[in-house]
Amino acid sequence: MKRIALFAHFDGQNEVKPYIVEFLRRLRPCCDDVVFVSTATLGQAELDKVRPFCGRVLLRENVGFDFCMWQDALRDLDISDVDELVLTNSSVFGPIFPLAPIFERMTASAADFWGMTDNFAITWHLQSYFLVLKRRVLTSPLFAQFFASVLPFRDKWQVVRSYEVGLSKFLTENGFEGAAFAALGSWVDDPERRDRIARARLDSTIFFPLELLQSGMPFVKAALLRENPGRVPLEPVRELMRRSGYSTELVRFDRPGEPHAPRTLHRLRWRLRGF
């Protein structure tokens, strides 16, 4: 089993913050190599923080968001013998829990590609802060076709529509099976409540972070702790993080006040009652 990770990084203060180093430290034992790609302007001292965990470090222009960063990394990466490719980024704190058992479970699953969480905004898709593509996808010409088509959009929500949603849609329409580790149905028992959440297109990482952590999902969105657009209680989330051995002193943000959450989240706040 050969597993490679591509880590997309941005920081508005041109730093590699401690939570990134901790993420890489916990990710590296699960991977044969990690490629670190950043659109921040990083000096040598910052780059030295990631080198113990990453075989390659790439710096690129700050356009195109994560998918262009992954596209750049793939240009010079031989994936002919890679069994699993991990696409992840700096938008989350964690992993709060060990990744190895999650990889073991999902590697054994029938899924051709998987993510930590699914989302029903626009259409069903896997959220791109942590995606894993297995060998059947990687060896298909369709994989190269998709990433060759990635354009350097400057609108984040165009990237979400075209590439985060688009990748899951493209793969499923071409016969590949996708799955989420913490799928909506795995932490919501009541079918009616599950349907309401899906119909409301609520982002579970923003509106139901405690339920996800309790189900074993190991990441917490930075936008949740920074802005809390869903107005959910945050102290239980922080307390669970602490109890699990993740230091909340690592929780630092790159660009205070940056609007990461879709505008629709603000219109959906009132709909939380009853979920």
Q: Which of 9-13, 100-104, 219-223, 262-266 has the lowest mean pLDDT?
A: 262-266
pLDDT, tens only, 227-262: 999 999 999 999 999 999 999 999 988 764 443 333
Say whether pLDDT at 226 is over 90: yes
Burial class (CB in 10 A: 0-12, 13-18, 19+), 148: exposed
State which amino acid sits at residue 71. Answer: Q
Q: Is 191 exposed, middle or buried (0-12, 13-18, 19+ CB in 10 A)?
A: exposed
pLDDT, tens digit, for every residue of 58-109?
Answer: 998 877 789 999 999 999 899 999 999 999 999 999 999 999 999 999 999 9
How wide is the angle at C-alpha 251 spanned by C-alphas 9 and 259, nearest 5°? 60
Q: Which of these, 183, 104, 92, lies nearest to 129 by C-alpha position?
A: 92
pLDDT of residue 177 exceeding 90, the answer is yes
For tokens 């669970």, the residue is: 240
Q: Which domain holds residue 60?
A: 3-272
Q: Does residue 165 contact residue 121 with C-beta atoms inside 8 Å?
A: yes
pLDDT above 70 covers a percentage of the chain that reads 92
CATH code of the domain covering residue 135: 3.90.550
The lowest-confidence range among 80-84, 133-137, 150-154, 194-198 is 150-154
Nearest residue to 75 via CA among 92, 88, 56, 93 = 56
Q: What is the mean pLDDT of residues 176-186?
A: 96
CB count, 10 Å around CB of 1?
9
Number of separate domains in the chain: 1
Q: Is the pLDDT of residue 38 over 50?
A: yes
pLDDT of residue 77: 94
3-state helix, strand, coil in the chain (%, to 5): 45, 15, 40
pTM assigned to the model? 0.91
